[in-house]
Amino acid sequence: MAVKFTIKNGCVGCGMCYAQYANYFQENDDGSAAVNAGKILENKTEAEKIASVCPNRVISVESAGENKKQAAMQAIQKLKNFQGCPIPSKSSISFKKEEYHVRVPYSPNEGRYNYSSDRAAESAAMSAFKDGMYNKIDTFILEIISEYRVRYLKPYYTKSLDDGSVYAKTNAEVSKLLKEIENIIGNGLSNDFVTVNVFPNEDITWKMLNKGQVLSDEMISSVKREFDYSADDYDCYWDTDDMECSAGTDWRGRTKYKDMYCYRNVGKAFESLGKDLLSACYYARSSLEDRAYEFIESFVKEYNKKLKEVLKNKIQIAERAINNM
């Protein structure tokens, strides 16, 4: 008669069961023990010996209440009902400008009294602003969009579970269902029955997304259409200052002085430009989100199609094994 394990209240999380019999027990997040799903034994004496490892005697051996074939068919039905990897909603990948920060460059000559006139200091401030940020607008836009790409798209063009791959996560969920079936059926299944290694094809789009050559580059022009500021629009943020500085000595050896000028607060102009670039990205978000969704939808649909074929084959293998039980 088929029997199964049940864990009653009172488990203290000592780990004796899953440390010695990992095939039958596993550890919960809180350290307590749980029975591996679908694990049914035919030998009651063996099961009672395994249960006796628990010092608190909270593991009991009970009749499975159904034969292995019925349990296996129920486990297979879970596999048939599996919906695959869900396609996210557009709202879940929306561009929210508060999530991003534009780096502010450093202006090395700011505050240095190096200029002989107020006009020269003003001109130097404008040059510092242009060289530090304004003439590199494409680069700063690219950084913002690249951060969006990594934040919301990377799980859909990576295979690594550490990188949040939705495919690796789904593969693991399917493997768990297959393991449940294997635990019930036992023999008659292929050695790689529980292995699921399905991913979308690594086509040119996949590879270019990994390199940042898709979405990021093509969106720069869309963002720049929403940005309508000249460099002159930012000169109100900086100011100049003058100070008497030593200019050597006269023929009598007395120190000479002359007014020298510096510029200040170019950083405020950088900050304002950064905010305007984020706003431009926000105004262009529909194009950004639509393109991103297009990539995601394509990858997930391809993955689900491939997964469906793999599951069809696994189900056929399991059903053949059940018929031979």
Q: Who contacts 80 (Cβ-Cβ below 8 Å, separation ≥6)?
A: 311, 315
pLDDT digits (tens, 9 = 90+) for 258-316: 889 999 999 999 999 999 999 999 999 999 999 999 999 999 999 999 999 999 999 99
Report the mean per-residue pLDDT for the chain: 89
pLDDT digits (tens, 9 = 90+) for 175-209: 999 998 988 887 778 889 999 999 999 888 888 88
Q: Who contacts 176 (Cβ-Cβ below 8 Å, separation ≥6)?
A: 37
DSSP code of residue 257? E
Q: What is the DSSP string of 151-182?
A: IIIGGGS---TTTT-HHHHHHHHHHHHHHHHH
pLDDT digits (tens, 9 = 90+) for 207-259: 888 887 777 777 888 899 999 999 999 999 999 999 987 767 767 777 777 88
Query: Does the pLDDT value for residue 1 go beyond 60?
Result: no
Domains and CATH numbers, the chain: 1-65 (3.30.70.20), 68-323 (no CATH)
pLDDT at 64: 63
Q: For residue 66, what pLDDT band results from cuts at 50, 70 and 90?
A: low
CB 230 within 8 A of CB 130: no
The tokens of 214 are what?
């898709």
Report pTM. 0.73
Give the whole-angstrom CA distance, residue 150 versus residue 161.
15
pLDDT digits (tens, 9 = 90+) for 129-141: 999 999 999 999 9
